[in-house]
Amino acid sequence: MGKTLVEKIWDAHVVKRQEGFPDILYIDTHLIHEVTSPQAFDGLRKRGIPVFRPNQTVATADHNVPTLNQHLPIQEELSRYQVDMLTKNCKEFGIELYGLGHPYQGIVHVIGPELGITQPGKTMVCGDSHTSTHGAFGAIAFGIGTSQVEQVFATQCLLQQKPKTMKIEVNGELAKGVGAKDIVLYIISKTTAAGGTGYFVEFAGSAIRSLSMEGRMTVCNMSIEMGARGGLIAPDQTTFDYVHGREFAPKGEEWDKALAYWQTLYSDEDAQFDAVLKFDAADIQPMITYGTNPGMGIGISEAIPATVDQPESERPSYKKALDYMGFRDNETLLGHPVDYVFIGSCTNSRIEDLRAVASFVQGKKKAEHVEVWIVPGSKQVEAQAKEEGIDKIFEEAGFMLREPGCSACLGMNEDKIPAGKYCVSTSNRNFEGRQGPNARTMLASPLTAAAAAVSGKIVDVRELLAEYDVV
């Protein structure tokens, strides 16, 4: 019987398989950042051991950094301490750091791909759940906790149970104004936020194939939001073209060897998945979330499902979520006023996202009462945006282009949405308080977010696209 893509990559990385024990899985690349690493470094010190393979770990500072005036010392004391600690630890243990001020600095899941560190067939981990992003290249990539960060430091391996596999196919053509973010929000709205738990998900089908690498990263990024361990997409010409020529991509003969191997990375025809789901791209509208987990999403023209239509045991949580958001049963969100728009995070802060937003807002202005933050995913994205003049378009529109970091995705730095305010956000989580205590988050695509910014309310971006005939 054939193998799934996950099985192929997994089996190629098993150092030891022993009955009754999880596999010892070899990790090719380890990414770290300031928040989930200090306790792991401390652990090494306590054990008196070094990092086993320091050149297979790359570090950046992203979660906690300010997104204004990055050239100045960090104001907030605890954040500064955490970032300084990362610098000190990387130095002590011999790890490459792209810290603040470095031209490669940025959100860990944005810089891996853009530097060519992320490659098909690899196993990659990071102390951050959205490590699943890297699966877009046909890699096994997943988030780990700090104890596991310490494991990888100490051994370049992890103890892991082989996961179950799920295939999600999306076939057909996407409508204009509907993109990768809408696909994944749609899928999660169908599977619920726990529907993928225990699985590694392979995304397939013609609608997935037609996505750019950026779009594929958006989809895999949010696979964790359906509870999955990770998501991945078999590499193809789109993947190889993206990786080719990047800083840390294989070169010359190494490239040929790597490419020959990468071309074997797909699920065999007769491979068995533990679960298969199929969706039709034509059913997908621009999506928006109305609740406090990413599974609570609807098509932009749809009404919020009624509490009585939820399974009985879930009604109290459901009602609590609607109360938190200030929404009612059967309400539609079209026309609902918006206070903030956040375009950023490892889900949607790549150059393609910024380009899409820029081409939409060109010549328009933000609604007066709306505050708009654009936070590029990395220094390289920021530089590219400036080179293409995108920064000017944002400036004219009244959008604020900030410096790279996780920013209002998790509100760890000062970029917080005030209590009770509505924010249309291109990030990946709408949990209570995620963007700041009592902030109300509505997740959507960059285009829908941009449309909200110029309209000052929730609108169907498809109608604006028809009106202005852009994109």
Partner 1 sequence: MKKFEKLTSRIVPLPIENIDTDQIIPARFLKATTREGFGDNLFRDWRYDSDGQPKADFVMNNPNYSGKMLVAGKNFGCGSSREHAAWAIQDYGFDVVISSFFADIFKGNALNNGVLPITVSDSFLEKIFDVVFADPNTNLTVDLEAQTVTINATGDSFEFEINPYKKSCLINGYDDIDYILSHKVDIEKFEQTRHFSYYQ
Instruction: List interacting residues with ligand SF4 (CB under 6 A).
Output: 62-63, 107-109, 128, 130, 345-346, 406, 409-410, 427-428
Smallest gap, in angstroms, from Cβ of residue 438 to ligand SF4?
19
The counts of H helices and E strands in the chain are 16, 19
How many whole angstroms separate alpha carbon 324 and alpha carbon 121?
Answer: 42
346 binds, among partner 1, ligand SF4, none (CB under 5 to 8 A by kind): ligand SF4
Report the alpha-carbon angle 448-453-458, nearest 5.
55
441 binds, among ligand SF4, partner 1, none (CB under 5 to 8 A by kind): none
How many whole angstroms separate alpha carbon 471 and alpha carbon 461?
Answer: 11
| Nearer CB in complex with partner 1: 35/174 | 35
| Nearer CB in complex with partner 1: 42/169 | 42
| Nearer CB in complex with partner 1: 187/354 | 187
CA Rg value for the chain: 21
422 binds, among partner 1, ligand SF4, none (CB under 5 to 8 A by kind): none
| Nearer CB in complex with ligand SF4: 158/409 | 409
Q: Which of 172, 277, 266, 173 has the alpha carbon at shortest distance from 228?
A: 277
| Nearer CB in complex with partner 1: 254/387 | 254
Contact at 8 Å (CB) between 427 and 342?
yes
Smallest gap, in angstroms, from Cβ of residue 145 to partner 1?
4
Smallest gap, in angstroms, from Cβ of residue 375 to ligand SF4?
9
345 binds, among partner 1, ligand SF4, none (CB under 5 to 8 A by kind): ligand SF4
468 binds, among partner 1, ligand SF4, none (CB under 5 to 8 A by kind): none
User: 220 a known binding residue?
Assistant: no
User: 406 a known binding residue?
Assistant: yes
Smallest gap, in angstroms, from Cβ of residue 117 to partner 1?
6
Residue 335: left if φ>0, alpha if ψ -120 to 50, beta else—which one? Answer: left
Helix, strand, or coil (residue 344): coil
Smallest gap, in angstroms, from Cβ of residue 230 to partner 1?
10
Q: Which of 87, 88, 112 has the alpha carbon at shortest distance from 101?
A: 87
Helix, strand, or coil (residue 56): helix
User: 423 a known binding residue?
Assistant: no
How many whole angstroms separate alpha carbon 298 and alpha carbon 285?
Answer: 9
146 binds, among ligand SF4, partner 1, none (CB under 5 to 8 A by kind): partner 1
Question: How deeply is 126 buried, as exposed, middle or buried, from its count of CB atoms within 10 A (0-12, 13-18, 19+)?
Answer: buried
Smallest gap, in angstroms, from Cβ of residue 27 to partner 1?
10
DSSP codes joined into one string, 369-429:
T-EEEE--SBHHHHHHHHHTTHHHHHHHHT-EE--SS-GGGTT-SS--PPTT-EEEESSS-
| Nearer CB in complex with partner 1: 73/437 | 437
Task: Enumerate the known binding-site residues.
Answer: 346, 406, 409
Binding residues for [4Fe-4S] cluster, by number, are: 346, 406, 409
